[in-house]
Amino acid sequence: MLSLKNISFDADDEKGKVSIIKNLSLDIEAQKFTVVTGPNGSGKSTLARIIAGIEKPTAGEIKFFGKDITDSSITERANMGISFAFQQPVRFKGISVIDLLRLASKKNLGRGEACDYLSEVGLCARDYVDREVNSSLSGGELKRIEIATVMARSAKLTIFDEPEAGIDLWSFQNLIGIFQNMRKNIKDSAIMIISHQERILEIADEIVVLTAGEIEKKGEGKLILPEILKSQSRANCGRTLNTEAC
């Protein structure tokens, strides 16, 4: 489905050029729920933004279903079937939830269809379908509405950048349930999530671990997750300096 070959990305700071992604190659396969994880500053979100077309790689090639999209814009990629969900969903003053769903689906959705999408993400449709997408909505509500718009797009590849950011524990529990349902109904599409949350890693078909802009390890979720948890446990023991407890 999606193939990244020798991708690099450099950014400017006060000291000059900084290498964020370094000669990275990765394939995202159809019918798979892939989670990209790693420490802060490892390049996870930058990688997601490169795939979506928000950032352009310094070097390398990106192909989607065999077509070179390296120079394609975010709009062109969206039209090809690549959907991107931000860490913090955008608020749209003056636009209702049903308007947003209609824009996402590119058709004049009926109220019944719009309500179906909202129900899938655990929202009481009649309470939300006419709500304005503004500051009156909580972070968790916005997140679920954004996921409903992602569903309405029927994208081939959906990218979520740290979807757990800015939401409370109750909303996070609901979010896990939504992702579990999306995974069951993945069909010919693919989902890629940037996250370090164990609950999200637990439902991954494949886990990719980034460290300092490079792939440290990659493989089947149930094989990679125990390695991640073991390394985290060792790191925590090292911080406590309590060898007996470890």
Following DSSP, what letter does each residue of 57-122 receive, concatenated?
-SEEEEEETTEE-TT--HHHHHHHTEEEE-SSPPPEEEEEHHHHHHHHHTS---HHHHHHHHHHTT
pLDDT at 157: 94
pLDDT at 95: 84
pLDDT digits (tens), the chain, 246 positions: 999 999 999 988 777 789 999 999 999 999 999 999 999 889 999 999 999 999 999 999 999 999 999 999 999 999 999 998 876 666 777 788 888 888 888 888 888 888 888 888 878 777 888 888 877 787 778 888 888 888 888 789 999 988 887 777 777 888 888 888 888 878 889 999 999 889 999 999 999 999 999 999 999 999 999 988 887 776 666 555 554 445
pLDDT at 168: 72
pLDDT at 245: 47
d(CA 232, CA 135): 37
Report domain extents, the chain.
Answer: 2-240
Paired tokens of 175: 């979010």
Where residue 171 falls (left for φ over 0; alpha for ψ -120 to 50; beta otherwise) is alpha
Question: Taking the domain 2-240, which CATH number applies?
Answer: 3.40.50.300
List all residues 6 or more positions away from 12 whose beta carbon is below 8 Å from its beta carbon. Answer: 18
Going across the sheet that includes 206-211, the strands are 82-85, 157-161, 190-194, 33-37, 206-211, 214-220
* pTM of the entire predicted model: 0.83
